[in-house]
Amino acid sequence: MSKNYETVFIFTPVLSDEQAKEAVGKYKKLLADLGGKIVHEENWGLKKMAYQIQKKSTGHYFLLEYTGPGSLVAEIELAFKRDERIMRFLTVALDKYSLAYSEKRRGKLKEKKKEAAASAN
């Protein structure tokens, strides 16, 4: 049975935007190969962290929301642990309330993008 998951991971700030996007592409492909389906993804960009990790105070943040079997999470987290570019990651299973909140947040993000595009014209 497929469950819904959300994973946030932080890449080391030494990576360029291109390298970070390439690494995210690798994990998206891995998710698809393992039977997962990506529902939503967000690139939060380079952000300052609350505390230093590996003597670094910033990192590239990414969020992936996906569905798949439970074994998928173990496989993807193992790949994260083996990748020296990833400083931290957190995966949570989404219940019905989390899914509703996530959909509501995505709707607000789309509205903001539309407003930004309209004000730019």
Could you read off the pLDDT of 32-52 as tens digits, one per residue?
999 999 999 999 989 999 999
**Overall pTM surpassing 0.85 (yes/no):** no
List the alpha helices (DSSP H) in 5-120: 17-33, 70-82, 96-120
Domains along the chain with CATH numbers:
3-95 (3.30.70.60)
CA 88 to chain centre: 11
Look at residue 54 and give its three-state secondary structure: coil
What's 93's DSSP letter? E
Residue 48 to residue 98: CA distance in whole angstroms: 26
CA dihedral 5, 70, 39, 16 (to 10 degrees): 70
Look at residue 106 and give its three-state secondary structure: helix
Residue 11 to residue 33: CA distance in whole angstroms: 22
pLDDT by residue for the chain (121 residues), tens only, comes to 789 999 999 999 998 888 988 999 999 999 999 999 999 999 998 999 999 998 999 999 999 999 998 889 999 999 999 999 999 999 999 998 888 888 888 888 878 777 877 777 6
